[in-house]
Amino acid sequence: MPRNLSTRLPAPEKLELVETDKLSPNPRNARTHSKKQINQIAESIRAFGFTNPILIDDDCVVIAGHGRLQAAKKLELTRVPVMRLSHLSDAERRAYVLADNKIALNAGWDSELLSIELGDLADLLPAIDIDLEITGFATGEIDILLSDHEAPTPSQTEEDKLPEPASVLVSKPGDIWQLGEHQVLCGDARDAEAISEFFAGRSASLVITDPPYNVRIQGHVGGRGKTKHEEFAFASGEMSDHEFTEFLSKSLSAMLLQVDDGTLLYVFMDWRHIETLLSVGRDLGLSLKNICIWNKTTPGQGSFYRSAHELVAVFAKSGNACTNNVQLGRYGRNRSNVWTYPGVNTFQTAEGDDLALHPTVKPVAMIAEAIKDASPRGAVVFDPFLGSGTTLLAADKVGRRCYGVEYEPEYIDTAIRRWQLLTGKDAILRRRLEEACDLYAAEELTFDEVSSRAPTTVGQNP
């Protein structure tokens, strides 16, 4: 005999507020809730309100909503919305406890529509200070869903290619440039005070950086063309071991002031000075999580053996658990500590002019994958040795924000030109320290507008 559904619908007036302490978990509830899921439910309630009432019987025993009850207690809510299912028999209540949980698990997803919705929310939610993980999807899942259905990205050769050398030097020490969601400071990675002012109370969720290795460029980095880069402004082979140790120590100390506990720091280094870097990390109280290897497809120059790899020390600032989006491939990110990507000689132009703009360019794809490994979407990624802007482009590619610092103005210009070339957007000058140029920032001039006013003619180096 068919049941009369109209007589079995709970009446709207049965929705009521009940003291949280009066509700009892169902001793027959077979559904479990992890600490992570309870935190997710709590964040959802905090963001959207208590939109789904807890279902109870007439004795205030929970039929459905055990996770919501635990989340309410975590949030210290004294009362919660409930609905009494008085119309159900004991057998029906027991069946519904299982059905409420299991039937929802039998649903699927339209992956294309899901990726579109997540992509839109990735743009919308930061403006109202809501994390995309509020949807219940982990960052690792989100990155994969978006990468599977996002618009085609530039080829590796295109995104790694550097623009033609310019005759005008645009950036000056102390400049702050706004590049969409990213910011770049022309300054010294060791200047903790200037960097702190640049961050203005923000903190980074990840550091990826490539400091100079205190190795001469000439004889160790080269290409097929006639144009070669001159030495870096510092730590280009002129420092003693003690001086280079101090250089790294001051640089890492300044980084640590801008990151939260548990933040990972990926620091590139070559084999000559990896022990120096590790020693500095130990002295600063950093935990070494791993050493990754950039396995290049072609070797470089110099040394007894031609070097075909660089090392990446992965440190953690102690205090909290590190962000881990890999989770042993749980969401499809199968990663190891060997990263095989082409070296600079592979993706430079035939004339070799790429080396004129920066001699140690890292592949954007390699840095993008590392960013996805260890940071949430929308997070700040800090690179205090920005160079030609690879971290900037990688962060832009995967939905993170880059805060970059670079000492040499010419490299700042290169990074900005690369970003503008790939995004089609304009960089805006936010600050210029020279008194005569205060109006530049006040006018919110674009990089190209500032360039048109810059009379300085440069060669290969500032």
Whole-angstrom distance, CA of residue 159 vs CA of residue 178 = 20
Look up the CATH number of the domain holding residue 37. 3.90.1530.10
- Residue 122 domain flag: yes
The whole-number pLDDT of residue 169 equals 92
The whole-number pLDDT of residue 215 equals 73
Return the structure tokens found at 72: 């309410």
The whole-number pLDDT of residue 300 equals 76
Same-domain pairing of 242 and 381: yes
The whole-number pLDDT of residue 205 equals 96
Mean pLDDT across 269-298: 95
pLDDT at 304 over 70: yes
CA dihedral of 264, 366, 419, 231, whole degrees rounded to 10: 90
**How many domains in the chain?**
3
- Residue 462 domain flag: no
Same-domain pairing of 178 and 139: no
* Domain carrying residue 270: 153-453
Contacts of 375 (CB under 8 A, 6+ apart): 139, 205, 206, 323, 325, 381, 400
Mean pLDDT across 25-33: 93
Residue among 326, 197, 215, 317 nearest 266 (CA):
317
- Residue 460 domain flag: no
Look up the CATH number of the domain holding residue 419. 3.40.50.150
- Residue 459 domain flag: no
pLDDT tens, position by position, 404-423: 999 999 999 999 999 999 99
Most confident of 292-306, 391-405, 423-437: 391-405
pLDDT tens, position by position, 357-367: 445 689 999 99
Label residues 169-180 b or e (16+ Cβ within 10 Å = b). bbbbbbbbbbbe
